[in-house]
Amino acid sequence: MTVDRDQVLRTAAALLTRKATATMDEVARAAGIGRATLHRHFAGREALVRALEELGIRELEGALDKARLDEGDASDALRRMVAEVEPVAGLLAFLVTENQLFEGEQMNAGWARIDARVSVLFKRGQERGEFRIDLTPAWLTEALYGLIGAGAWAVQDGRVAAKDFQYMIAELLLGGVRRSVEK
Amino acid sequence: MTVDRDQVLRTAAALLTRKATATMDEVARAAGIGRATLHRHFAGREALVRALEELGIRELEGALDKARLDEGDASDALRRMVAEVEPVAGLLAFLVTENQLFEGEQMNAGWARIDARVSVLFKRGQERGEFRIDLTPAWLTEALYGLIGAGAWAVQDGRVAAKDFQYMIAELLLGGVRRSVEK
DNA sequence: CCCGAGTGAGACGTTTGTGTCTCACTCGGG
DNA sequence: CCCGAGTGAGACACAAACGTCTCACTCGGG
């Protein structure tokens, strides 16, 4: 009887990932609950998005944990990261564009933590001599988000195959499009 | 006295690039005209966005023309393309996310033309042996859009320097993050 | 069995942006 | 100089979504 708050959140995430402008009513129906009940658990769309942000941050940090970014080759760590992040890619894309809208307000501290961890990976790769040093970790982090978002949308719209998601992103980011001598 | 329709469009593009949810009133004020006048020239927000789409497509196709994608190295052509597209990057990012929302309706044929031209460049690079063949032109095209959008936003928010825009995108896309033997 | 916490449906008022209309004004060309 | 096309300001009605509230209902634990 009692609503499973986490289940509602995940349903909302799945819906908003597909249709970012879905109304509270649509979210409620998708979750199989009444609009009033949705409001009882999340005081308004704002609060819902914030809760989704918390969820996304939590899952992302979990993914980064599992990826063990500080172990072994930076390249392998990057591949592990992309693999672990894949299930959250759609939600990540939604939250990134959502954050893009609310320019003024300060962002959730979780994003800073995540940015820092990803940045550190790129820096580690540079210090190990694995990664080139003419591209800043900050840009590489942004680029990673951009590629993940592009990949998630491309998969969603059927422009690329879901099974290629990890490979496409990780290998493009690692090696670029140019044919390289090492391979 | 008479409103310069193209000037209004460009002002709207600049504003919506920064704040995608700007109202018609904000657009009108930004363009220095009354809301009624804005409606006289564009029958509603929908029409305005469509006109912006036309503008963006026109400018993008112009940029692709100037980049001479079918001449010389595919790598150099790619660099030229990124350079020419830079001024339209913000508008492109806005339109891409805007298109992401209206899932159902069929998209403007201009996008298909642009996609095709970019795709052909990647394919040409592959056929010349310059580009790797394990990443599809379709994905590379999507990835390019993603990187341009990420770059435009990062510059807008001051996370990376505007002067690095072209280099960051083109070189990351070409060579990836991994240190390569050739360089 | 029963009672109450939690829920669904829906009504209601509010807010926000939209689109239309009117009216006075102001240029600028004839 | 004068007239009218084009404009700005504002009023107005409308639609969509929001947030709140009420009320009947239904589980499930005590």
A23's CB contacts (< 8 A; 6+ apart) are none
CB contact under 8 A, B135 and A168: yes
Residues of chain B with CATH 1.10.357.10: 55-175
Strand C proximal to A2 Cβ, under 7 A = yes
Higher pLDDT, A182 or B95: B95
Tell me the CATH architecture of domain A53-175: Orthogonal Bundle (1.10)
CB contact under 8 A, A179 and B149: no
User: In terms of CA atoms, which chain B residue is nearest residue A169?
Assistant: B143
pLDDT tens profile A120-139: 999 999 999 999 999 999 99
* pLDDT value, residue A183: 41
Q: Which residues pair with A131 in a beta bridge?
A: B178
| Positions of strand C less than 7 angstroms from a protein CB | 6-11, 16-22, 26-28
Instruction: Delimit the CATH 1.10.357.10 region(s) of chain A.
Output: 53-175
CA of B53 to C1' of D5 (A): 29
pLDDT tops 70 at residue B174:
yes
Contact B140 A177 (CB under 8 A): yes
pLDDT above 50: residue B120: yes
pLDDT in tens, B145-159: 999 999 999 999 999
Name the architecture of domain B55-175.
Orthogonal Bundle (1.10)
How many other C-beta atoms can be found within 10 angstroms of the C-beta atom of residue A18? 14
**Among all chains, which residue has been given the structure tokens 């009354």?**
B34
| Residue numbers 164-183 of B with CB closer than 7 A to any atom of strand C | none
Neighboring chain B residues of A179 at a CB cutoff of 8 Å? 129-132
* SS3 assignment for chain B: CCCCHHHHHHHHHHHHHHCCCCCHHHHHHHCCCCHHHHHHHCCCHHHHHHHHHHHHHHHHHHHHHHHCCCCCCHHHHHHHHHHHHHHHHHHHHHHHHHHHHCCCCCCCHHHHHHHHHHHHHHHHHHHCCCECCCCCHHHHHHHHHHHHHHHHHHHHCCCCCHHHHHHHHHHHHHHCCECCCCC
User: Which of B18, B178, B179, B181 is the mutation pick for testing A, counting most A CBs within 10 A?
Assistant: B178
- Please report which confidence band the pLDDT of residue A46 belongs to, taking 50, 70 and 90 as the band edges: very high
pLDDT over 60 at A170, yes or no: yes
pLDDT of residue B180: 76
pLDDT at A105 > cutoff 70: no
Asked whether residue A5, judged by its CB, lies under 7 Å from any atom of the DNA or RNA strand C, the reply is no
Give whole-number Cα distances, A111 to B49, B116, B169, in Å.
31, 36, 23
- Shortest CB distance from A142 goes to which of B18, B160, B181? B160
Which of B139, B160, B173 lies at the smallest CB-CB distance from A176?
B173
Strand D at less than 7 A from CB of B21: no
Residue closest to sugar C1' of C18 by CA: B44
Which residues in window 37-76 of A are less than 7 A from strand C by Cβ?
Answer: 37, 40-41
**Mean per-residue pLDDT, A94-120:** 88
End-to-end CA distance of chain B: 56
The pLDDT value given to residue A104: 62
- Chain A nearest C-alpha distance from B92 (Å): 14
Res. B101: pLDDT tops 90 = no
Pick the CATH number of A1-43 from 3.30.470.20, 1.10.3720.10, 3.30.70.260, 1.10.10.60: 1.10.10.60
Residue B183 has pLDDT above 50, yes or no: no
